[in-house]
Amino acid sequence: MQDQPLTELTLDQVAKEALAALGAAADGETLEGWHVTYLGRKGQVTQLIRRVSDLPKEERPAFGKRANEIKQALEAAYGRHAQALKVREMERSLVEGAIDVTLPGRSTAHGRLHPSTQVLRRITQISADMGFQVYRSRDVETDECNFQLLNFPRHHPARDMQDTFYTTQRDVLLRTHTSPGQIHAMREYCPEPIRVILPGMCYRYEQLTARSEIQFYQVEGLAGGYDIRFTDLKGTLTDFAQRMFGSGRKTRFRASYFPFTEPSAEMDVECILCDGRGCRVCKHTGWLEILGCGMVHPVVLQNGGYDPSVFSGYAFGMGPERSTMTRYGIEDIRYFWGNDLRFLEQF
């Protein structure tokens, strides 16, 4: 082009080429390259314009005017094309980055309370409403507190190696029930009246089956004072059962035996699955056993520091897992401590 004679036609020719190339520029990078090629400092149009001095004087004004027109036209076309590319780019990103708000959300996994914890908290809440304080007692016990002070006869089967987890230390064992907590609580409260519940884990060296585990919860209750009778026990536990299993739910007491209570009883509640009509869970009796109870044995009161001639009390002990199983139709007690999420997530 350097060698060709310079005319307005040369300008028009370059402009035509430039416009054609511009139309083909499909992205920002090509577009910038185009601007450098034609309108940049060393661009074709710029260089042509510089050659104006080669022309005879009289041709220069017309050439200059035409050159300016062309340069402006090309700059304008460049601007429009850049704008169009920008719009196209925006539309493309809108389509590609579109969010489909109709897609279902992804839920996060939340932790939740273990069913036993839920039931324990409910029992604690109801007991607190009824004036019982929570008293914490140890899981590792002495033979003395777990058995002797609770009036267990020397050769009671519960003391057998079959039933108790003994430690390597003589006379130190894992508690087989929460009742030894009665001794600790009485010794702490004596000679004041007392009204406590003692929730906690208990351990028994037993064959694992669908109905029995080697560890399970119990909630012990103990109320003592200077005028406490069996009617107080019946009234309180009936009230408790109604708050726990629904008002109007029937209860009954059956005579029983525990070494540390006299008289002793067991309380049944009308089956919550069949409303007492009889079903597989209640073995067609219409009743479910929920706790053992009785008046604290004079010997035990004495071991706790109280004078049984003026002081009396009642105690009860329930196993919340059994009623949880009944309530939710859980068929195997081993699910409780198996930590299977498929089980736990149902609560």
Pick between residue 22 and residue 293 the one whose CB is nearest to ligand PHE.
293
* Radius of gyration of the CA atoms of the chain, in A: 46
Pick between residue 51 and residue 234 the one whose CB is nearest to ligand PHE.
234
Dist CA 276 CA 270 (whole Å): 5
Pick between residue 74 and residue 265 the one whose CB is nearest to ligand PHE.
265
Closest CB 261 distance from ligand PHE, rounded Å: 5
CA–chain centroid gap for 342, Å, is 14
Pick between residue 44 and residue 324 the one whose CB is nearest to ligand PHE.
324
Strand-strand pairing, 215-225 and 194-203: antiparallel
Pick between residue 67 and residue 228 the one whose CB is nearest to ligand PHE.
228
Structure tokens at 172: 């130190």
Cβ atoms 241, 271 nearer than 8 A: no
Query: Which residues, other chains included, contact 255 with Cβ-Cβ below 8 Å and sequence gap of 6+?
Result: 263, 264, 265
Closest CB 286 distance from ligand PHE, rounded Å: 23
Closest CB 242 distance from ligand PHE, rounded Å: 20
Cβ atoms 289, 252 nearer than 8 A: no
Dist CA 133 CA 221 (whole Å): 10
Residues that bind ligand PHE (CB under 6 A): 177, 179, 220, 258, 261, 292-294, 315-317
| φ, ψ at 28 (rounded to 5°) | -60, -35
Pick between residue 216 and residue 335 the one whose CB is nearest to ligand PHE.
216
Pick between residue 115 and residue 317 the one whose CB is nearest to ligand PHE.
317
Closest CB 224 distance from ligand PHE, rounded Å: 13
Pick between residue 146 and residue 324 the one whose CB is nearest to ligand PHE.
146
Task: Spell out a b/e string for 173-209, using b for 16 or more CB atoms within 10 Å of the CB, else e.
Answer: bbbbbbbbbbbbbbeebeeeebbbbbbbebbbeeeee
Crossing angle of helices 8-24/60-96, nearest 10°? 0
Closest CB 104 distance from ligand PHE, rounded Å: 50
Measured from the Cβ of residue 333, the count of other Cβ atoms closer than 10 Å reads 20
Give burial (CB, 10 Å; 0-12/13-18/19+) of 111.
exposed
Pick between residue 34 and residue 216 the one whose CB is nearest to ligand PHE.
216
- What is the number of the residue whose Cβ is closest to ligand PHE? 317
Dist CA 181 CA 141 (whole Å): 9
Cβ atoms 178, 137 nearer than 8 A: yes
Closest CB 147 distance from ligand PHE, rounded Å: 11
Closest CB 100 distance from ligand PHE, rounded Å: 59
